[in-house]
Amino acid sequence: FEHSSTFGSLIQIPAAFAKKLPDLESKLNTAAASGDIFSQQSAQELLPLVQQAMLLAKQYDAVIANPPYMGNKYLNPNLKNYLKKNYQGYEKDLFSAFMIRDLQLTKESGQLGFMSPFVWMFISSYENLRAHFIDHATITSLVQLEYSGFDGATVPICTFTLAKSHVSNFMGSYIRLSDFRGSENQAPKTL
């Protein structure tokens, strides 16, 4: 957790360590309740880290995210190296690594929802991400908004849902709104 303010939920907890966390939390709670000032102070410092690790090791039924967007060239060196080491093939933009991490945070039968730039659908830098979604998950719905799809913002964005598990021959719902200019047209045309 040395760089946790930079890496955030991209931090992965090894399974072997995750199994030990409940016992470690119990021991730290015992130490915190003891009369020993050194044990209490140490436990109070370590408990938040153990609890954070438990949250990062947990798997969820549903994960919904608007992952942060930041191209590789704008990342600080620590984050760039971390992505290269832990998210190889998905390190071109922060949102790509977050999507893969969100899949890891989801139970096998879980569902995911994203709002993200739609460049992952077209640019060769995101071929690994597309292949992962197609081969290992199931895109259940996707709406590609028009550039002015939001009032006051001009952004290339899409929103989509995934089932973590792969379902062969699944037919999802896909809507392309690029022909319908203006934020006022996006919702009616989607319906």
* pTM reported for the whole predicted model: 0.87
Residues 125-161: pLDDT tens digits?
A: 999 999 999 999 999 999 998 877 777 777 788 999 9
β-partners of residue 143 are 159, 175
